Structure 1
Amino acid sequence: MARWGCAVVTVAAVMSLGSISGTAAADPAPEMATHASDTVGYGPVLPQGDAAWVAYGLLGDTDLAPQGANDWACKPTAEHPRPVILLHGSWNSAIGGFSRLSPQLSQAGYCVFALNFGRPDVAGAGLVQPWIGAVGPITESARQLAVFVERVLAATGARQVDMIGHSHGGLVIRQYLKDGGGADPADPAANKVEKVITFGATNHGTTLIGLGSLAVAVQQHLSSGFLPLLQEFIGPGGIEQLAGSPYLTQLNADGDTVPGIEYTVVGTRYDEVSTPFDATYLNAGPGATVHNILLQDGCPLDTSTHNGLPYSPRAATIALRALDPDNPPELACTPNL
């Protein structure tokens, strides 16, 4: 299917996702072979999240790296000893999600790495295309992340990494920590991750602006095969993020956090995808620290929506403060249209 032709199906699939979300009565089995993909070359610094998502997540050259990322000769400094790994959101790519944030982190002195994950091995319908990332099962994406982490640690000589995840990427991080080898509950000192920062992560699922009641009606009362049919268009990773899904029930069953990790969770009041926005917040379990931050606290000027979060100057300074609280930059407060 041509990429421009896919755009029409993409819009229809996203609209369908919005109209069937909510407490899922049943999840289809998330069966799909996927892979991670290395970046090749560098793309431009893009000013706006939605445009970047369309141009470099759905339709454009999604193999390009965001500037500042994936310099495999980069060695961490004493000031910034941990590399930072970036995880993009659903139906996106590393450059589509982080073309603006990645160079900011690099210019601040961090070794930055980003991968494209969850790409289907075989083309399907709608958003299930080999160049579109974060489509496959989240557990499979977490395994791809685990391999990438080992490559980063080996190349940099670092003992640990920090991670930043947007939307779907936040769940991949949490899955890696819970069940993918990223953390050791018995010995937090052996964790491979020190700090986690998420932007609009669907940590407790999304109702997509309250349209979930339609999903329940369709799935439970009209057609029990509706969600499996939708999965053919958006992929298992999209279905798994619905509020009340079996996947999320299992992920959150033993608590939101793992010991030894410091979490910074950023939400925006104007999030139209991860809704309600405060469902992104985490509850701290034993041995973990959680900072839940609303982007608009102290800055009503920043009206960032979901895809705008990684492009928000304020969110960038929140991330930089979380990574290095001893040398915090001044919090930005500017409009992010």
Structure 2
Amino acid sequence: MVARVTRILLAIQLLAAAGIYLLLTRYAGLHGKLPAALLAVAIVLLVRMTITANNFGLSWIYRSETPFDHRLGRLAALRLFLIEYCASMVSSSWTMGFCTFRDRPGEADTAPVLLVHGYGCNSGYWHFMSRALSRAGIGHYGIDLEPMLASIDQFVPALHARIEEICRQTGREQIVIVAHSMGGLVARAYLRDHGARRVLRVVTLGTPHRGTGLARFGAGENVREMLWTGDAENGRCSAWLDSLARDEDAALRPLFISIFSHQDNIVSPQLSSHLPGARNIEFNGIGHVALGLHPRVQQVVIDAIGSAA
């Protein structure tokens, strides 16, 4: 479903560019075809850039205090924005729509890895992470969580079935879960329901473990379950997140590695990704979508998989 929606949105953008081109050439007096085409595409790209800028603006409202050694200068902030914009464009306009994920058994003697995507995405999000894991010889597998707007609890049976299937295929007793954003909450809900018999380690990237204020601008039951209300100091998470924290086994928290960025433009407050009892790894200068595409984050994930035992 997400792949279909991604293609439809891309088609709409291409039609918008074509319409702008016609307006420029027929009514705006711009006679050169190439300049008109370039300007039409630039306008569409500018609209997409405005959406990314809006996300950063909204995240500023709910932001948590950034530690001094993670603060950015102007040039670093501009680089952060441009990298996140490019990551969003590539993911939403290409990999999620056209890069079908295939199981990739590995060569390295490591546990198989299941990649779990986040809200509004599919397994195509992991295209670049998959290439990094393949270069490291690590076997990895994907899953598509549907329907897109369902409750997080509704994704747990599909995750459970996929984990059992991977264990049967590989002959391994346990796997490593690498999850982005909402996918980390699905993994926690799975452990709450099924325990850690099949799970060696869970690595989460930009997961809103205590919710995010930007969830109020999304759609779906899962978005309401990820909601953070109020400011960073005095706010509160959703009843679902409170229930998850209350019902899960705290003794399993050392299985988790939570990777997050102090400049996350979707998870805000950013310290919502700090998971008590887990190993928390902080980055700066990386946006939410870019986390799974960034070489430094990919290397940390590879190291975490290799050290799981």
Shorter-normalised TM range = 0.5 to 0.7
Q: TM-score, normalised to structure 2's length? A: 0.67
Over 3 Å counting, the alpha-carbon distance change for 1:269 and 1:193 in structure 2 is same
* CA-to-aligned-CA distance 1:240-279 (integer Å, 9 cap, x gap): 1102212111111246744385211111111011111111
Q: Deviations over 1:207-261 (max 9, x none)?
A: 23xxx9xx6xxxxxxxxxxxxxx8xx72111111102212111111246744385
Distance (Å, rounded) in 2 between the aligned partners of 1:318 and 1:163: 14
Q: Which residue of 2 aligns with 1:146?
A: 160
* Structure number with larger C-alpha Rg: 2
Name which of structure 1's ranges 240-249 and 250-259 shifts more when overlaid on structure 2.
250-259
> Counterpart of 1:253 in structure 2: which amino acid?
R
Q: Residues 118 and 257 (structure 1 numbering): CA distance in 2 closer, same or farther, change over 3 Å?
A: farther
User: Secondary structure, in 3 states, of the residue corresponding to 2:212?
Assistant: coil
Where in structure 2 are the equivalents of 1:196-207 lying within 5 Å?
Answer: 196-207=202-213
Question: For residue 31 of structure 1, what is the aligned residue in structure 2?
Answer: none
Superposition pairs of residues 124-135 of structure 1, within 5 angstroms: 133=148, 135=149
RMSD of the alignment, in Å? Answer: 3.3
- Describe the superposition over 1:60-93 as per-residue Cα deviations: whole angstroms up to 9, x where unpaired: 347x11xxx413xx3665x31x100001111011
Q: Is the 8 A contact 2:114 2:177 kept in 1?
A: yes
* Structure 1 residues 278 and 260, CA gap change in structure 2 (3 angstroms): closer
Aligned residue for 2:263, secondary structure, equals coil
SS at match of 2:286: coil
Match for residue 279 of structure 2 among 268, 285, 291: 291
Paired with 1:171 and 1:258, the residues of 2 have a C-alpha distance of: 17
State the 1:56 CA deviation.
4.6
Give the letter aligned to residue 103 of structure 2.
N
Q: Which 5+ residue runs of structure 1 have no aligned equivalent? A: 23-46, 120-132, 184-190, 216-229, 285-289, 297-302, 327-337
**What corresponds to 1:53 in structure 2?**
91
Q: What SS does structure 1 have at the residue aligned with 2:90? A: helix
Q: TM-score under structure 1 normalisation?
A: 0.61
- Say yes or no: does 1:241 pair with 2:269: no
- The answer as to 2:256 corresponding to 1:263 is yes
Could you tell me whether the CA contact under 8 Å between 1:263 and 1:291 is conserved in 2?
yes
Give the one of 92, 113, 137 matched to 1:84: 113
Q: Does 1:322 align with 2:307?
A: no
Residue aligning to 2:103:
70
Q: 1:94 to 1:255 in 2, by over 3 A?
A: same
Matched, 1:279 2:272: yes
1:1-337 equivalent positions in 2, closer than 5 A: 3-4=8-9, 48-56=86-94, 60-61=97-98, 64-65=100-101, 69-71=102-104, 74=105, 77=108, 79-80=109-110, 82-95=111-124, 97-119=125-147, 133=148, 135-179=149-193, 181-183=194-196, 191-208=197-214, 234-243=219-228, 244-254=237-247, 257-259=250-252, 261-284=254-277, 290-296=278-284, 303-325=285-307
Ranges in structure 2 where 5+ consecutive residues have no aligned partner: 17-47, 63-84, 229-236
Shift of 1:312: 0.9
Whole-Å separation in 2 of the counterparts to 1:265 and 1:204: 12
Q: What one-letter code is carried by the residue in structure 2 that aligns with 1:319?
A: V
Q: Is the 8 A contact 2:106 2:134 kept in 1?
A: no
- List per-residue Cα deviations over 1:99-124 (Å, max 9, x = no partner): 111111122111100111122xxxxx
For 2:121 and 2:12, the matched residues in 1 are separated by 14
Are 1:176 and 1:182, in contact at CA under 8 Å, matched by a contact in 2?
Answer: yes
SS in 2 for 1:92: coil
- Number of aligned positions between the proteins: 234
Tell me how far 1:143 sits from its aligned partner. 1.2
- Structure showing the higher helix proportion among its residues: 2
The separation in 2 between residues aligned to 1:192 and 1:269, in whole angstroms, is 31
C-alpha contact (below 8 Å) 1:146/1:182 kept by paired residues? no
Aligned AA (1:293): I
Q: Distance in 1 between matches of 2:174 and 2:118?
A: 23
- The SS at the match of 1:149 is helix
